[in-house]
Chains A and B, each alone.
Chain A
Amino acid sequence: MSTMRKILRYELRDVGRSRAVLLYGVLLLAMTHAVVYFGGGGARAVLSLLNVILIVVPMVSLVFGTVYLYGAREFIELLLTQPLGRRPIFAGLWCGLTLPLIVAFVLGVSLPFLWSGSLGRDLVLPLALLLVSGALLTAAFTAIATWIATRFDDRASGMGAALAVWFLVAIAWDGMILLVVATLGNLPLQLPLLGVAMANPVDAARIGLVLALDAPALMGYTGAVMQRAVGLWGGLGLTILALLLWTVLPLMLARRRFEGKDF
C-alpha cells in the first residue's frame, strides 16, 4: 500500500470520528429532511437547499479545514521527520480531510430524499448535480484551506484569511457584480461578467444548478447569459470545469508551498 493511502486510512479514522463532522452530517440531514417534509419535495426543495448549501458548505469546509490543519501542525512535523516524501504526506492529509466532509454532505443531503420517496425522475439530474456541486465545493474549499494553512504560519492570520475568503465568495461577490451591472449597465458586459461569475466557485455552482432546475426567475443575470451563450449542457460542463479548476489550482499551490516549506 502506498504511503499516501496509509496516511489516508488513519486520517479518515481521525476526521471521521470527529464530532464536528458528525454534527455537520446530522445538521445537513435535519435541514434537508425539514425542507423535503415541509416544502413538499421536488425541485422547490432542491432550490431551497441550494441557497443554504452554497453558504454552509464553503464555510464549514474552510473553517473546519483550517482549524484541523493548524491543529495537526505538530503531528505533520512528526510525519515529516519519518523517512517519507512530502508529496504523499500532503496528498494523504488533504484526502483524509476532504473525504469525510464529502461523505457527511452526500449522506446528509441525499438520505431524506430517498427515505421520503420524493425522488421523482425529474429530480434526478438536479439532485445529482447538487450532490456533485456540493462535493466539488467541499474539495475546492478544503484545497483553499490547505493553501491558507501552508501560506500563513500564524493560526490567527490563517483563520482570518479563511473567513475573509468565505465572506468574499459567499457574500460579497454577488454584490460586487450587481454594483458593476448597475453602474455600467449600458456597456456590453455579459460575457466578461460570466467569466467573473465563473471565477467564484460558489457562483459557478449556483449557475449550474439553476440551469439544471430550469428556473429562469432564479437564474439571475449571469445564469441567463450562460443559458443563451452555451445552453444547458454547455453550462453544466462549464460549471463542473470551474469547480474542478477551483480544486486543482489551490491544491497545486498548496502542494508547492508544502514541499518547500520550513516547518
Chain B
Amino acid sequence: MTALAHAVSRGALALVPAQGTPVRVHHLAKTFGRLAVLQGVNATFQPGRITALIGPNAAGKSTLLKCILGLVRPDAGLMHVGDDTVGTGADYRYTIGYMPQAPSFPGHLSAREVTRMLIDLRGDGATLDDELLSSFELGASFDKPVRTLSGGTRQKLNAALAFLFRPRVLILDEPTAGLDPIAAGILKEKVRAARDEGATIIVTSHVIAELEELADDVVLLLDGAVRYEGTLARIAAEAGEPRLERAIASLMLAERPRP
C-alpha cells in the first residue's frame, strides 16, 4: 500500500477524494474437517455500491466474510482488497471497517476507552463521528463500563467503531440486529452516505426486507458457491418475482434437486 493510500485510509488526509476499493474473490475454497464450506467462490464487490451477501444458514456467508477479514485462512483461491492481496500482510485492513454480528468489548473498559484503544492501535488520524454519536445518543453512555450498557447501546458502539476510521470497505454483519427502529434508520442513512462517498459495502442480514431497502447488488451463496451475482432489479426480473424474498426463494427452489 502506498503511503498516500495509507494516509487516506486512516483518515489523515480526509480531503483527498476516496478512491474506489473493490473487493475481488477468486476461486475461494475452504473446508472445515470434511465439510466444504466454500467451493470455488468468485465474486466482486464494487465500490460505491451496497452489496447484500445472502443465502440460507450454513451457505458460507460468515466464512466468506471472515476470509476477507483475514480471520479464516482459505485452502485455495485469491482475494484482493483494492490492489492488496489478502493473506500477504495485515496492512490491507487499514481500509476495512468491520461491524460484527455479536459485539463483545472488554467489560471493565468504558466505551471511550475501547474507542481510544482502537485509535491507539491503528495510529493517528481517526476521529470519532460526533454526528453519529450524537444521533445515536451515545454521549451519556460513553464513560460507563461497557458491561453496564444495554445490548442496543453496545450495538451502537459497534457501529460507531466500524465507521471510526472512514473505511473504504465496510463489512456489516447483521448491522441492525438489536437496534431500535430509530437507531436502525440512522445507521442505514450512514451506510448510504458511505456508499455515496465511494465506499465498498458488504452487508449480510436475515431480514430480507431490510436488504431490499438498502442494497444495490446481491451475491447469493448456496452450498458454498455463488449462484447469483447482480443487481436487485435483475434478480427480480430473472426470477419473475418483484419482491427480493420471493425471488431468492424461487432461485433456491430451482437449485434443489428434484425427487
B87 contacts partner chain A, Cβ-Cβ < 8 Å: no
CB contacts between A and B, total, < 8 Å: 80
The answer to whether B122 and A75 have CB atoms under 8 Å apart is no
Measured CA separation A83–B91 after assembly (Å): 5
Residues of B within 8 A of A31 (CB): none
Interface stretch (choices A7-15, A104-112, A209-217): A7-15
Mask, A1-37, CB within 8 Å of B = 1, is 1010011001101111110000000000000000000
Rounded to whole Å, the gap between the CB of A38 and the closest CB of chain B is 35
Rounded to whole Å, the gap between the CB of A159 and the closest CB of chain B is 18
Residues of B in contact with A, size category? 20 to 34
Residues of A within 8 A of B96 (CB): 81
Residues of B within 8 A of A234 (CB): none
Main secondary structure of the interface of A (DSSP, over half): helix
- Given A6-B120, A81-B98, A262-B72, A73–B106 Cβ distance below 8 Å? no
Residues of B within 8 A of A6 (CB): 117, 120-121
Measured CA separation A71–B66 after assembly (Å): 19
A156 contacts partner chain B, Cβ-Cβ < 8 Å: no
Rounded to whole Å, the gap between the CB of A81 and the closest CB of chain B is 5
The answer to whether A83 and B73 have CB atoms under 8 Å apart is no
B92 contacts partner chain A, Cβ-Cβ < 8 Å: yes
B234 contacts partner chain A, Cβ-Cβ < 8 Å: no
Residues of B within 8 A of A80 (CB): 69-71
Interface stretch (choices B107-115, B203-211, B218-226): B107-115
B178 contacts partner chain A, Cβ-Cβ < 8 Å: no
Residues of B within 8 A of A74 (CB): 100, 102-104
B142 contacts partner chain A, Cβ-Cβ < 8 Å: no
Mask, A52-83, CB within 8 Å of B = 1, is 00000000000000000001111101111111
B15 contacts partner chain A, Cβ-Cβ < 8 Å: no
The answer to whether B69 and A81 have CB atoms under 8 Å apart is yes
A85 contacts partner chain B, Cβ-Cβ < 8 Å: yes
Residues of A within 8 A of B69 (CB): 80-81
A115 contacts partner chain B, Cβ-Cβ < 8 Å: no
Residues of A within 8 A of B90 (CB): 82-85
- Given A7-B121, A10-B117, A74-B102, A18–B70 Cβ distance below 8 Å? no
Measured CA separation A263–B90 after assembly (Å): 16
The answer to whether B121 and A3 have CB atoms under 8 Å apart is yes
The answer to whether A73 and B104 have CB atoms under 8 Å apart is yes
- Given A80-B71, A81-B69, A262-B71, A10–B109 Cβ distance below 8 Å? yes
Measured CA separation A11–B90 after assembly (Å): 22
Residues of A within 8 A of B118 (CB): 82
B94 contacts partner chain A, Cβ-Cβ < 8 Å: yes
B136 contacts partner chain A, Cβ-Cβ < 8 Å: no
- Among residues of A, the one whose C-beta sits closest to the C-beta of B72 is A262
The residues in B between 66 and 103 inclusive whose CB is less than 8 angstroms from any CB of A are 66, 69-73, 90-94, 96, 98, 100, 102-103
Measured CA separation A260–B70 after assembly (Å): 11
The answer to whether B94 and A83 have CB atoms under 8 Å apart is yes
- Among residues of A, the one whose C-beta sits closest to the C-beta of B63 is A262
- Among residues of B, the one whose C-beta sits closest to the C-beta of A79 is B121
- Among residues of B, the one whose C-beta sits closest to the C-beta of A85 is B90
The answer to whether B98 and A78 have CB atoms under 8 Å apart is yes
B105 contacts partner chain A, Cβ-Cβ < 8 Å: yes
The residues in B between 118 and 132 inclusive whose CB is less than 8 angstroms from any CB of A are 118, 120-122
Measured CA separation A75–B72 after assembly (Å): 16
The answer to whether A83 and B71 have CB atoms under 8 Å apart is no
The answer to whether B108 and A75 have CB atoms under 8 Å apart is no
The residues in A between 222 and 263 inclusive whose CB is less than 8 angstroms from any CB of B are 260, 262-263
Measured CA separation A74–B66 after assembly (Å): 13
Residues of A within 8 A of B121 (CB): 3, 6-7, 79, 82, 84
- Given A262-B73, A263-B66, A82–B106 Cβ distance below 8 Å? no
Mask, A187-223, CB within 8 Å of B = 1, is 0000000000000000000000000000000000000
- Given A77-B71, A83-B92, A10–B122 Cβ distance below 8 Å? no
Measured CA separation A17–B105 after assembly (Å): 14
Residues of A within 8 A of B103 (CB): 74, 78
Rounded to whole Å, the gap between the CB of A19 and the closest CB of chain B is 9
- Given A72-B106, A263-B66, A83–B93 Cβ distance below 8 Å? yes
Given contacts A7-B121, A13-B106, A81-B98, 17 further A-B contacts (CB under 8 A): A10-B109, A10-B117, A10-B120, A13-B108, A18-B108, A72-B104, A74-B100, A75-B106, A78-B161, A82-B93, A84-B90, A84-B121, A262-B32, A262-B71, A262-B72, A262-B73, A263-B66
Please name the 6 residue pairs, one residue from A and one from B, whose CB atoms are nearest each other, closest first: A74-B104, A14-B106, A17-B108, A83-B93, A263-B71, A262-B72
